[in-house]
Amino acid sequence: MEFKNTKSFAKQCDQEDKLQKYQSEFIFPKVKGEKVIYFTGNSLGLQPTRAKAYVDEVMDDWANLAVEGHFYANKPWWDYHERFANPLSKVVGALPEEITVMNTLTVNLHLMMVTFYKPTPKRFKIICESKAFPSDQYMFQSQVCFHGYKPSDAIVEIDRREGEHNIRLEDVLAKIEEVGDELALVLIGGVNYYTGQVFDIKTITEAAHKTGAYVGWDLAHAAGNIKLELHDWNVDFAAWCSYKYMNSGPGNASGVFVHKSHHTDKSLNRFAGWWGHNKERRFKMEPNFNPVNGADGWQISNLPILSLAPYLASCEMFDEIGMDALIEKRDKITAYLEFILHEVEKEVGGNFEIITPSNPTERASQLSILLHGEGRALFDYLMENGVITDWREPNVIRLAPVPLYCSFEDMYNFGQILKAGLAK
């Protein structure tokens, strides 16, 4: 399609957009009385209008049933989390029994490392990407120290080449081969939070498995954003937060994937808890742990139902739409945003650079803009004029044109505001 930097073209794209109706299903903040252009769904998704009804249902059941809500609520609390298995399995490409929801993201990654990071004197190294999200870096450091290793010895970071913003797949594969039989675990963010680069999960997983290592993925910026086939790609485990592209509310519960091949492997460690015990015998209060056969067997505590309620509302929406439709619009609206940025650059200059890969297969719903000379002032101008975006030190603005609630007209209007800000 040949894009045009006009409001009429943008409106035409919106009229043809099959997902346009879903914009009314979200609540937008306002600046100066006008609905904002919201580019930070990669940090916190907007609130779905249907989320309140799901939370109110739990509150009403609590009020009217109290403890009996565990069994007699409209959606009984004792198996509330099981309602996520089918919709989330479609989002991440898994079998329903490979999915559970519990805790929060870094907690779950720690729990997965209990199972899948099994260092030995020979095989103890972890490969991750450089400039991983800080929480992952802290997790790696604390885990290897817990096992008695020095981070400088055990953690192997894959760096970007001099003068490049993204990590080359060939360099990931070369590093895996180089570490070889010393490699215990590969754990990488499926989409890099800073640049928006999408990694080739299938190819990297295959390469690491050939060395005998386990492979996990932090899908914080990938779940609900990119096409995933975790089961078919033989990923060992993955975890993701739910409050970014999946719009579940601030700091909300995390999803977890554990490949079916590991469900009955008794050689794997896990931290046990009551809610991971055999569901049919859970209330018999038996002294020995008998895990549920599936990802639910990694559960520890009963679930925070009030937190899960808005997540379930969002999962219902994802199930209605399907990932293929989301990705189709994602690719088009992201390409249109890229076009608008280049048009603004041609019209008024603007000393900035898109550091997200230009190849559509290596990016998703994010373009990261490296500012040369503009600094924080341009970000502040955008925020003051109703463009809610994200600043990352030292000088990057992240823009996420989330297909569920961003419009093509938003992209055009953003270009006009950006142009005025650069001129100013």
Report how far residue 163's alpha carbon sits from residue 143's, in angstroms, rounded to the nearest whole number.
32
Res 273 pLDDT > 90: yes
Contact between residue 38 and residue 46 where contact means Cβ atoms under 8 Å apart: yes
Residues contacting residue 99 through CB under 8 Å, at least 6 positions apart: 84, 85, 88, 89, 92, 255, 256, 257, 295
For 29-42, what is each residue's pLDDT tens digit? 999 999 999 999 99
Residues contacting residue 70 through CB under 8 Å, at least 6 positions apart: 76, 77, 78
Pairing of strands 214-218, 183-189: parallel
Res 360 pLDDT > 70: yes
Res 348 pLDDT > 80: yes
**Among residues of the chain, what percentage have pLDDT more than 90?**
91
**Across 258-286, average pLDDT:** 92
Res 392 pLDDT > 80: yes
Res 374 pLDDT > 70: no
What domains can you pick out in the chain, each with its CATH number? 7-49+322-423 (3.90.1150.10), 54-321 (3.40.640.10)
- Read off the amino acid at residue 199: F
The whole-number pLDDT of residue 177 equals 98
Preceding amide of 394 cis, omega within 30: yes
Confidence of residue 27 (pLDDT cuts 50, 70, 90): very high
Res 2 pLDDT > 90: yes
DSSP structure class, residue 296:
G
Spell out the long-range contacts of 371-379 with Cβ–Cβ below 8 A and sequence spacing 24 or more: 371/395, 371/396, 371/397, 374/350, 374/422, 378/421, 378/422
Question: Tokens in use for 293?
Answer: 């056969």
Tell me the β-bridge partners of 256. Answer: 100, 239
Pairing of strands 99-102, 396-399: unpaired
Confidence of residue 390 (pLDDT cuts 50, 70, 90): very high
Contact between residue 118 and residue 269 where contact means Cβ atoms under 8 Å apart: yes
Instruction: Compute the CA torsion angle 389, 331, 93, 75 (nearest 10 deg).
Output: 50
Res 205 pLDDT > 80: yes
**Across 293-305, average pLDDT:** 95
For 49-68, what is each residue's pLDDT tens digit? 999 999 999 999 999 999 99
For 156-189, what is each residue's pLDDT tens digit? 999 999 999 999 999 999 999 999 999 999 999 9
Report how far residue 212's alpha carbon sits from residue 20's, in angstroms, rounded to the nearest whole number.
46
Res 350 pLDDT > 80: no
For 400-418, what is each residue's pLDDT tens digit? 999 999 999 999 999 999 9
**Across 331-359, average pLDDT:** 93
Report how far residue 229's alpha carbon sits from residue 221's, in angstroms, rounded to the nearest whole number.
15
Can you tell me which residue has the tokens 């894009």?
A: 3
The whole-number pLDDT of residue 109 equals 98
For 115-167, what is each residue's pLDDT tens digit? 999 999 999 999 999 988 899 999 999 999 999 999 999 999 999 999 999 99
pTM assigned to the model:
0.96
Contact between residue 84 and residue 315 where contact means Cβ atoms under 8 Å apart: yes
The whole-number pLDDT of residue 280 equals 87
**Across 213-235, average pLDDT:** 98
- CA 213: distance to chain centroid? 23
Query: For all residues of the chain together, what is the average pLDDT?
Result: 96
**Among residues of the chain, what percentage have pLDDT more than 70?**
100
Res 1 pLDDT > 90: no
**Across 16-29, average pLDDT:** 97
Report how far residue 395's alpha carbon sits from residue 398's, in angstroms, rounded to the nearest whole number.
10
Residue 358: how many CA atoms within 13 Å on its side-chain side?
A: 6
For 312-324, what is each residue's pLDDT tens digit? 999 999 999 999 9
Q: How many helices (H) and strands (E) does the chain have?
A: 13, 17
